Amino acid sequence: MLSKTEASKLDNRGTASRGLVIVYTGNGKGKTTASLGLAVRALGYDLNVLMLQFIKGSWFYGELDGAKKMAPNFSIISLGKGFVGIIDDNKPLSEHQRAAEEALREAKDRMLSGKYDILILDEINYATSMKLISVKGVLDLIRSKPRKLTLVLTGNNVDQQVIDVADLVTEMKSIKHPFEKGMSARKGVDF
Q: Does residue 186 fall inside a structural domain?
A: no
Q: Does residue 13 fall inside a structural domain?
A: no
pTM, entire model: 0.85
What total number of domains does the chain contain?
A: 1
Q: What pLDDT, on the 0 to 100 scale, is given for residue 14?
A: 47
Rounded-to-integer distance, Cα 122 and Cα 113, Å: 19
Confidence check: pLDDT of 9 > 60: no
Q: Does residue 155 fall inside a structural domain?
A: yes
How confident is the model over 170-183, as a mean pLDDT?
85
Q: What is the CATH number of the domain that holds 75?
A: 3.40.50.300
pLDDT, greater one: 166 or 62: 166
* Helix pair angle (31-43, 62-69), 10° resolution: 10
Q: What pLDDT, on the 0 to 100 scale, is given for residue 13?
A: 47
Q: What pLDDT, on the 0 to 100 scale, is given for residue 101?
A: 96
Confidence check: pLDDT of 183 > 90: no
Rounded-to-integer distance, Cα 178 and Cα 184, Å: 8
How confident is the model over 110-124, as a mean pLDDT?
97
Q: Does residue 49 fall inside a structural domain?
A: yes
